[in-house]
Structure 1
Amino acid sequence: MNIRTFLLGCLGGLLSLTSCTNNPAQTDYSAFVNPFIGTGGHGHTFPGATLPHGMIQPGPDTRIDGWDACSGYYYADSTLNGFSHTHLSGTGCCDYGDVLLMPTVGKQKIGNQGQQMAYASAFSHQNETAEPGYYSVFLDTYGVKAELSATKRAAIHRYTFPESKEAGFILDLDYSLQRQKNEEMEITVLSDTEICGRKKTVYWAFDQYTNFYAKFSKPFTYTLLTDSMPTSATDATKQPVCKALLRFNTTQGEQVYVKVGLSAVDIAGARQNVETEIPEWDFNQVRTNARKEWNKYLSKIDIQTNNAEDKTIFYTALYHTGISPNLFTDVDGRYRGMDLQIQQGDTIHPMYSIFSLWDTFRALHPLMTIIDPKLNNDFVRSLIKKHQEGGIFPMWDMASNYTGTMIGYHAVPVIVDAYMKGYRDFDVEEAYKACLRAAEYDTTGILCPSLVLPHLMPQAKYYKNAIGYIPCDRENESVAKALEYAYDDWCISIFADAMNDVENQKKYARFAKAYEFYFDQSTGFMRGLDSKGEWRTPFNPRASTHRNDDYCEGTAWQWTWFVPHDIDGLAELMGGEEAFAHKLDSLFTASSELEGETTSSDISGLIGQYAHGNEPSHHITHLYNYVNRPWRTQELVDSIFKSQYSNAPDGLSGNEDCGQMSAWYVLNSMGFYQVCPGRPIYSIGRPLFDKAVINLDNGRTFTIIAHNNSKTNKYIQSAKLNGKPLSKLFFSHNDIVEGSVLELTMSNTR
């Protein structure tokens, strides 16, 4: 049956070729995860130890500066600076790298030489292991084996030393990624086994507070360095120094343990976090518990396949979706709010940070509504609380800082999507109020306007007032901003409808159509329009000037398709279904050449001008389903599986972006994707696996079975839902929640 008529080698563990068992509790899903995927290329992933959505991320730092230092680790490097306790994973901006610890043997060296600290050690990937909740490496320079594991808020280290009378550690508090400005630093030795300290850094998160408490299993003598020193041999600039040099004797094979707790609140919070979560020196138990936590998270989806590589890619992708947002509440319920004040919350519904919303509203949060809606509700509560504390939703919240990064107000679709799917365990009235506030932003009423960075936040003064659109000669990235505002406003319009707010429903439904202003019939692209009502000239749809043109990390080729809420309307602008499909075909067949002096490095993973390595393209392959060409969705999704994801350090075609790149893979490899968060409808694509079972939190399962599936059989010949033939390649979120079976029969012909 042709469905033309539809309307609309794990490096650290052992692989098994068998399918997952029927009892998720008996399956070691972590064995299928390769944390090194994405640590090369420009994936920027983090291979260290952490728990699902944990506060602390102890792991290796191999470089300090540059774009590929975003997670602190880059696979091509062969030296290691030490192990810091805060890391971002998969971002396009860099920060963190706090409280670095490095074991040493021999004379302890201080200073840095380019990307390496003077105390850095050589290492080999052959002597390196990473698995969920555990990281280990042998430090060649010192002959020390390092092992790290973690709980939610604390880390435990185990170091196996050689015999030495000059063994020790360097605890480097002034170290950070990208050489951040340390405005405040303080380090105190409490006893011959305890150290604590605090720091405030200024960088991407311009008011980031870190407090730590460290407990050592072996007594030490120490020297504190709290003066200043040149940054390098050729740079006489003095930088503040805050380091503890610890020394002791060791016997051959002696193991020394370190426990570290962090808190954004105070040192007492850091100490309580580690003493509560790691009361003993049992490294193996912490490691075992961490693996159990990851297996619990990964068990939310069972896949059946005989392809070991695909299985590793899938469970690594699912693992990457569980790293952020990060817990930001101490064990006593305290946290630092968006007003940078200490708040008393609770541990039942803790606060979270690291919201890369421009990326994650598209697939990460929709995935969470399926596999862990209660956790996603906690994310929603966090966003609402941030609105209350700071006066507005953050666009990109890091450590309770308004970074002002990226565009749009995408807390809105995260909240509206949850609400429309029936997940409403939050203050709905306050959420609605916050959505309206974000859409009509100005500095009036902001509790901390200096913290919000008003010059970086969305401005409603153009298209929501007299002009009716955002003029490209007055606002940078005008087309991208306008398209995203239109979508976000559509989300508000359906939220308003649900709240029986007729006036705002009509108002925001009108704003949702604002995308029409930017479509140029003569070129067939979304194009900048200046304050005189004239098109941006000259115009080149493949031109890119990174973050300084009419688009955002993209070109007209990619951004023309961002109207997920009104695909029929976009098709009508383009001249109807045939013209729309023809234009869509040209996206994937056009030359991949980009033009411009500073083309955006984020435009990556190109198939024609489709850029899978960046988020604006992620919904596009499924647009064919809306114009009766589902076979094109199926073959293009299949080509993306093969060309954009692999079981290798460079196995991602762009920044991981806090789980978004991986969430796309998780959803699509099971056979579906949500094109428009806020509209609880899923588009069927090309299932990669013979069978996928989603274990829902209500005790039911949603199962996707692909009959006659193979690498060549990528086309769907027929589809059934609960035994009944589907007349269209879409199904609802309720179909998932109620527990259903989707059966797809595959073929090598369309």
Structure 2
Amino acid sequence: MKNMKLIGCHLAAVIVFSGLFFSCSQTHVVKEYVDYVNVFIGTGGHGHTYPGATLPHGMVQLSPDTRLFGWDGCSGYYYADSSIIGFSHTHLSGTGIGDYGDILMMPTSGENKFMVSGSAEDPDSGYRSRFSHKEEEAVPGYYKVRLSDYDITAELTAALRTGFHRYTYPEGKAANLIIDMEPTIHGHQHPVTEIRIINDSTVSGMKYTTGWAKNHYVYFYAEFSRPFTHTLYSGDTLIEGNLVKAKTAKALLTFIPEEAKKEVLVKVGISSVDCEGAKKNMKADISGWDFDKTVADARKIWNNELSVIDVKTDDAEQREIFYTALYHTAISPCIASDVDGRYRTMGHTIVQDTSYTNYTLFSLWDTFRALHPLYTVIRPDINQAFIRAFLRKYDESGVLPKWELASNETGTMIGYHAVSVIADAFFKNQRNFDVNRALSACVRSSTYDTTGITPMMPASIVARIMPLELKYKNELGYVPADRCGRSVSQGIEFAYNDWLIAQMAEALDQKDIADAYTKRGEYWKNYVDPETRLMRGRNMNGSWVTPFDPRATFKGSCYVEGNAWQWSWFIPQDVPGLIEEMGGKDAFVAKLDSMFSMSSELTGDAGAALDVTGMIGQYAHGNEPSHHIPYLYNYVDEAWKTQALVDSILCTLYHDDPDGISGNEDCGQMSAWYVLNSMGFYSFCPGIPVYEIGRPLFDEVTVRLSGDKTFVVKALNNSKENKYVQSVKWNGLPLSEPRFSHQMLASGGVLEFEMGKEPNKELFKTY
């Protein structure tokens, strides 16, 4: 994997930070945080990440596109591919559904024969180009590749709202660049696209698509370092003049030859508001034509972002996995406000508010579990900014976001997990938002009431965010499987969210709400099958769904992206109650043991099983419902089993290669799990400000907290073999249970582990 990493050679003469000079001629290169990031992790397998240039939570994600269709084309790039279509400015990181891939540019040399991209099977049928990973490099904020069909070196970097390209063309051939508004990841419809030639070095335009995000607008403003002549097309039809407005607007730019100049640079600002906003964004981001300075600025920004955590270890692979994971956690959600404070609302009006920053891309069913809890530790300010964005979107749409994308509610997945993010921050005393309005929004989002929803929202989406399941849940106490799909998964997640609402209401002296939602928080018990002690679907008449195969995964079942084995443990808010319902401690342990030891075979629909990966028995680490399960042993005097399982997951299901993530990255969730667990703890139940202790992977970790405080985790006698915790001390005092509070962490201090080869089965014994 080292051949894919940029370790200073290209940038040797231009980057100087903190007195550290990076030079190829030096025998010793001092590495910075970015040098430990392998941006290609997750670009293979089913990780669905991309390797291109972006900044932390940046509006622009400038990256190569190698494929636009298929499940493994969700990010536009797949490591096994051998040709590049072009470089577009928006991408999703690790999702299971594709969108974006907007404003594609592709440099070509010589006579340009095609205005279509061609196919992977026959690259010569279009303008795409072959490439080799041996001629590809990337670090956070910078990407470089040689397009072998054209002998062009393409380099990409990014500012917050602007993509910056540098293309080096071969001598003696025409230098061209194609702007193609047709390519879109997963091929969504675009009713209108537009390209306008402003002058011989400036182009602007827009693209409106109706895909996963039903109403998605992207405007761009591009300035070139060299003048060009142009040809415009509507599809393959030549258009005279300086403007084309069509479903598939395209432009071919040919740069006027300049002696001894082979480079062409282009700065591309984007906006969801208008071309003027894109222009302002570009002008504010990058004032001149110093590409190397923008690369250096991006490097500095990423170094600062990654410096929040220091790890000490002799394991180079685990260090790279860690910092790559930390990098992935900072990509999204993304800024969606222009530099002048204008943004597109959920109702698709344009407003201006310089006191507010809008964000987009909230994959909340995934990220409430680990990503947002991680932010409460390392980036509480930005997490609270996200919550303020939730509440603004609530005001605009009538409901808290569920899976929001580009000012569109997609309605994807289940639950109303903005509640979890809000409650977790609230109970960690991170309350830079209107807490009473937040409680009202949480209650509203848990109720079947479609009135007042933004008129722009399609009826199909309204039915997903205010589903009939809410009515059944609130009236019957469960979701009937013969009336609603995914009934069990929805019902037990509703119960978790409702329990959180009850806790917030009680803290805010809203007794009526607290009483009602405390009762609803108990509804998970209605799914416990007394015969199998697993969560099972019930019909409208109260009968159990028959037949019942706990290993079955199929679309339309009682479960979402999983089966009864994976879903029977999602009661993090009431583990003692779950233990009781499963027949007591011994029966609970026996069932939990069997889950991890039984066959990993799945039955049912193979297509539905795509999201059930990273198997240890029936535990599926590649999908989120399993992520807390290893820590259940902490509640039954067998914390050593938690330690062994966490060690196994960290060391066998994360790797320093393209297939290094055991499932979809899911907008930072899979990586956030690694970051937290490798430090030795996990946010088992977001909303309860307590961390469960696992197995620290590194010899020492230092987390830089606000107020110049640090939280340090030390693992004495640590090694791959010594994976079991022998003792734990907090600031020198022994811990009596396998958990500690967020208040302890936030106050700063030292959590010290003594590690050993054999489990200490008497540690943390409470029964």
Shift of the alpha carbon at 1:229?
7.1
Find out whether 1:300 has 2:308 as its counterpart: yes
Aligned twin of 2:352: 344
Does 2:417 correspond to 1:424?
Answer: no
In structure 2, which of residues 613, 620, 630 is the aligned counterpart of residue 604 of structure 1? 613
How far apart, in 1, do the equivalents of 2:254 and 2:678 lie?
52
1:516-564 Cα deviation digits (max 9, x unpaired): 0001010121000000111110110011113x21000000010000001
Which residue of the other structure, out of 563, 578, 581, is the alignment partner of 1:570?
578
* SS of alignment partner, residue 226 of structure 2: coil
Task: Check whether the contact 2:473–2:491 (CA below 8 A) recurs between aligned residues.
Answer: no
SS in structure 2 of the partner of residue 275 of structure 1: helix
SS in structure 1 of the partner of residue 675 of structure 2? helix
Deviation at 1:330, TM superposition (A): 0.4
Mapped partners of 1:449, 1:273: distance in 2: 27
CA–CA distance in structure 1, aligned partners of residues 451 and 187 of structure 2: 35
Distance in 2, Cα, partners of 1:155 & 1:112: 21
Alignment partners' CA distance in 2, 1:290 and 1:260:
16
Correspondence for 1:532: 541
Report the equivalent of 1:385: 392
- Say which SS state the counterpart of residue 471 (structure 1) adopts: coil
> Is the contact between residue 526 and residue 556 of structure 1 (CA under 8 Å) also seen in structure 2?
yes
**Contact 2:446–2:470 (Cα < 8 Å) also in 1:** no
Structure 2 residue aligned with 1:413: 420
Partner of 1:175: 183
**Could you tell me which amino acid in structure 2 is paired with residue 431 of structure 1?**
A
Alignment match, 1:233:
none
Alpha carbons of 1:251 and 1:162: their partners in 2 closer, same or farther (altered >3 Å)? farther
Matched, 1:353 2:360: yes
The percent of aligned pairs where both chains have the same amino acid is 52
SS class of match (2:468): coil
Q: Deviations over 1:31-69 (max 9, x none)?
A: 000000000000000110000000000110001110001
1:505 corresponds to 2:498: no
- Summarize the alignment of residues 39-78 of structure 1 with structure 2, pairs less than 5 Å apart: 39-78=43-82
Alpha carbons of structure 1 residues 252 and 474: separation in structure 2 relative to 1, 3 Å: farther
1:6 equivalent in structure 2: none
Q: Cα distance, 1:112 vs. partner?
A: 4.1
Partner residue of 2:118?
Answer: 113
Counterpart amino acid of residue 521 in structure 1: P
Secondary structure in 1 matching 2:610: coil
Q: Show the counterpart of 1:241.
A: 248
Q: Which amino acid aligns with 1:82?
A: G
The one-letter amino acid of 2:163's match is A
Q: Distance in 2 between matches of 1:142 and 1:267?
A: 31
Q: In the TM superposition, what are the counterparts of 1:17-96 in structure 2 within 5 Å?
A: 28-96=32-100
Structure 2 counterpart of 1:515, from 521, 524, 527: 524
RMSD: 1.7
Give secondary structure in 2 for the equivalent of 1:638.
Answer: helix
Structure 2 equivalent of residue 736 of structure 1: 745
User: Secondary structure in 2 aligned to 1:382?
Assistant: helix
- What's the CA shift string for 1:375-402, capped at 9, x where partnerless? 1010000111000001101210000101
Q: Shift of the alpha carbon at 1:695?
A: 0.3
CA distance in 1, matches of 2:685, 2:564: 20
Question: Which residue identity is paired with 1:668?
Answer: N
**SS in structure 1 of the partner of residue 421 of structure 2:** helix
The verdict on how the C-alpha distance between 1:455 and 1:89 changes in structure 2, with shifts beyond 3 A counting, is: same
- Report whether the alignment pairs 1:683 with 2:678: no
Structure 2: which amino acid aligns with 1:309?
E
Q: 2:337 aligns with which of 314, 329, 353?
A: 329
Would the aligned equivalents of 1:402 and 1:451 in 2 still touch at CA under 8 Å?
A: no
Q: Secondary structure of 2:489's partner?
A: helix
Deviation at 1:318, TM superposition (A): 0.2
CA distance in 2, matches of 1:204, 1:531: 32
In the TM superposition, residue 618 of structure 1 has moved relative to its aligned partner by: 0.3
Is contact 2:474-2:520 (8 Å) kept?
A: no
1:580 aligns with 2:588: yes
Residue 368 of structure 1 is matched in structure 2 by 375
Distance 1:567 1:715 in 2: 23
Which protein has greater RCO, CA pairs closer than 8 Å, 6+ apart? 1
Question: Partners in 2 of 1:459 and 1:628 — Cα distance?
Answer: 41
Aligned equivalents of 1:428, 1:460: Cα separation in 2: 27
- Is the Cα–Cα contact under 8 Å of residues 602 and 609 in structure 2 kept in the other structure? no
1:212-260 CA deviation, whole Å, 9 max, x = no partner?
A: 0000001000000024679xxxxxxxx9321010012366771110000
| Preserved contact between residue 66 and residue 83 of structure 2 (Cα < 8 Å) | yes
Counterpart contact for 2:42–2:659, Cα < 8 Å: yes
Q: Distance in 2 between matches of 1:62 and 1:200?
A: 22
Cα pair distance change 1:227/1:29, threshold 3 Å: closer
Tell me if structure 1 keeps the 8 A contact 2:115–2:236. no
Q: In structure 2, what is the Cα distance between the partners aligned to 1:647 and 1:177?
A: 26
Q: Distance in 2 between matches of 1:450 and 1:189?
A: 34
- Cα gap change, 1:181 to 1:591, in 2 (>3 Å): same
Q: How many Å separate the matches in 2 of 1:471 and 1:698?
A: 50
Aligned 8 A contact 2:119 2:126 in 1? no
1:166 positional shift: 1.9
* Equivalent residue, structure 1, for 2:476: 467
SS at match of 2:75: coil
1:394 correspondence with 2:388: no
TM-score (norm 2): 0.92
Aligned partners of 1:253 and 1:617: how far apart in 2?
A: 56
- Paired residue for 2:454, among 444, 447, 461? 447
CA distance in 1, matches of 2:153, 2:604: 48
Q: How do 1:570-649 and structure 2 match up within 5 A?
A: 570-598=578-606, 599-649=608-658
CA distance in 2, matches of 1:195, 1:275: 14
Query: Where does 1:188-227 land on structure 2 (aligned, <5 Å)?
Result: 188-227=196-235
Paired AA for residue 199 in structure 2: S
Aligned to 2:242: none
Query: What's the offset of the Cα at 1:355?
Result: 0.3
Task: Write the letter of the residue equivalent to 1:284.
Answer: D
- Matched with 1:257 is 265
Secondary structure at the counterpart of residue 475 of structure 2: coil
The Cα of 1:740 is off from its aligned counterpart by 1.2
The corresponding residue for 2:5 is 12
Counterpart contact for 2:179–2:251, Cα < 8 Å: yes
Contact kept? 2:714, 2:753, Cα under 8 Å: yes
> Amino acid of the residue matched to residue 95 of structure 1?
D
- Over residues 642-672 of structure 1, what are the superposed CA-to-partner deviations in whole Å (9 max), with x where a residue is unaligned? 2100000000000000000000000000000
TM (norm. structure 1) is 0.95
Partners of 1:578 and 1:344 lie apart in 2 by 59
> 2:73 is aligned with what amino acid?
A
Unaligned runs of 5+ in 1: 1-8, 16-22, 231-238
Structural mapping, 1:262-301, within 5 Å: 262-301=270-309
Q: Residue 462 of structure 1: CA displacement?
A: 3.9
Q: How many residues align?
A: 725
Q: CA deviation at 1:72?
A: 0.2
- Determine the C-alpha separation between the residues in 2 that align with 1:652 and 1:665: 10
| Contact kept? 1:671, 1:685, Cα under 8 Å | yes
Paired with 1:448 and 1:569, the residues of 2 have a C-alpha distance of 42
What amino acid maps onto 2:116 in structure 1?
G
* Counterpart residue type for residue 439 of structure 1: S
Segment of structure 1 superposing worse, 273-282 or 466-475: 466-475
Deviation at 1:24, TM superposition (A): 13
Give the gaps of 5 or more residues in structure 2. 9-17, 21-29, 239-245, 760-767
| Contact 1:86/1:98 (8 A) holds in 2 | yes
Task: Please say which of residues 444-453 and 701-710 is displaced more in the overlay.
Answer: 444-453
